[in-house]
Amino acid sequence: MEQSFLAWLRGRQRLLPQVAVGIGDDAAVIDWPQSRQLVTSVDTIVDGVDFLLDQHSPAAIGHKALAVNLSDLAAMAADPVAALVAISLPNENATQVAAAVYEGILATAADFGVAISGGDITCYDGPLAISITIIGQAEPQKSWLRSGAQPDDAVLVSGSLGGSILQKHLAFTPRVRLAQQLRDNFTINAAIDISDGLLLDLDRLCAASGCGIELELDRVPVSEDAQALSQQDGGDPLEHALGDGEDYELILTCPADQAAEILAADLGTPLTQIGTLTSRTGLWSKLPNKLIRLSPRGFVHGG
């Protein structure tokens, strides 16, 4: 199966100039400019945990597998270059599943100029699992970190949040282009993508920076899916926005004097200021006359 499938894949891959040697040899060779730093990340998604192969489109699953990695690069303000794709396939219909999943991977790679430069394929008696290592580049010392936030920074969030289980967790757009525009035109002090929930990922950013946040809950952008999910389960739409996770939006902090300019810019993706960083550590709900401490919550991956 492997040789015939790799022949098919070589015929489908896009030949991009950054990859000198791609699929077909023992390893890939990537041309790398001396003036750039390597930025890498790896994520694995598994049937029954991150998607349901018997319910979800294989192409959508392939999109998600690559897009979660692209979201990590967006949070670092890095430019995507190439990806290595390792797929563990269930024995039944392995070739058909691999081809269908790769349709989604290849389409997303084309959208973001990513070369599929290599990987691995194996068949076994187990669930579909896809592990992708993304390779990106950034100017030296220009990557956004979780640890760069400062007290009095404005805290911005892209898009809208909550209810991702209805569709967004398979169909989101990684905010690579938004990050590139912000990086090239504004000062961003810190960033993180929302993979596990707004409050949990905010807490991680604040902890890394030694800050806290005064959060204006009435400004948190609640998605239509969060509203729809609340009608189904009787929950609170805001609670879904705060803790559902898998939104893959960006949390960004910037100097207070830049916030209005960023919010007024035409960036193609809505941004909302949801709070302000403070030297008082922790997550705080800002009310007219008091602060109420919030507990970080969201999806925590098993060990």
**Does 196 count as an annotated binding residue?**
yes
- Which of these, 72, 96, 73, 98, lies nearest to 85 by C-alpha position? 98
Is 193 annotated to bind a ligand? Reply is yes
- Give one DSSP letter per residue of 105-144, joined into a string: HHHHHHHTT-EEEEEEEEEESS--EEEEEEEEEE-TT-S-
Q: Are 240 and 229 in contact (CB under 8 A)?
A: yes
**Nearby residues of 54 by Cβ (< 8 Å), 6 or more positions away:** none
Say if residue 72 carries a ligand binding annotation. yes
Nearest alpha-carbon partner for 22 in 4, 34, 41, 6: 6
Query: Any known ligand binding at 201?
Result: no
Is residue 257 annotated as involved in ligand binding? no
Flag whether 119 is marked binding: yes
What gap in Å lies between CA 189 and CA 154, rounded to an integer? 10
The answer to the question of whether 246 is labelled as a binding residue is yes
152 labeled binding residue: no
Q: How far apart are CA 20 and CA 29, in angstroms?
A: 5
Q: Is 50 one of the annotated binding-site residues?
A: yes
43 is in an annotated binding site: yes
244 assigned binding-site residue: no
Q: Kindly state the DSSP code that residue 11 receives in the 8-state scheme.
A: H
Residue positions in the annotated binding site?
A: 26, 41, 43, 50, 72, 102, 119-120, 146, 193, 195-196, 246, 299
Tell me the binding residues for ATP: 102, 119-120, 146, 195
* Annotation: binding site for Mg(2+): 26, 41, 43, 72, 120, 193, 196
Binding site residue list for substrate: 50, 246, 299
